[in-house]
Structure 1
């Protein structure tokens, strides 16, 4: 077998292998979108929507010092924005520990508490007390 014919044969085999692995066929078209009335699957206990976690933490903290509670990342970090000053690490750590009592559900694995200027006052991770 000539080298050119061998390379062509090998190239053809590789191309066919890639096409079959990718599941290419002319019958495959774009998938149709779900019908407007179709219900989305409901989340399980470990798949709590990000907004629900933020609302739960906000209700649990019930403090005039809390301006907003949001979730960042891919629903992994609860961020508590406060009116506290940059030197208020103690109250920030207390808010962080309290937020941690209810925040760690679904993918949430950390809590951050920020001062009014945006400086981090405290942070915590699942199963640990918050640090300043």
Structure 2
């Protein structure tokens, strides 16, 4: 009898310390927070058309975007301008200055890809 009373006291003290979320988890009940759900719906709606990230293989459009070359700059692109844009982006994103090595690699890949395009071939 003493063991049963002691077990009852221990169980009731542990139960009193449980939060409602802990009780739900112990009973395999999934709680849905309406605020989180609304936030998730908001982000899904905001980013449903944005696919983000990089292509598996870089194309010219992505290379232009990475180097910040747009519209009329594309028509007037020279090797010197490409070099200047590459330098500007590398200064902003160099790994030695806190930038991402992955982004620096993408910047270098963009420059290499554009140098090999028809615009600079003689």
Give the TM-score normalised by the residue count of structure 2: 0.28
Give the TM-score normalised by the residue count of structure 1: 0.27
Higher helix share: 2
Larger radius of gyration: 2
Structure number with the bigger relative contact order (C-alpha 8 A, sep ≥ 6) is 2
Higher strand share: 1
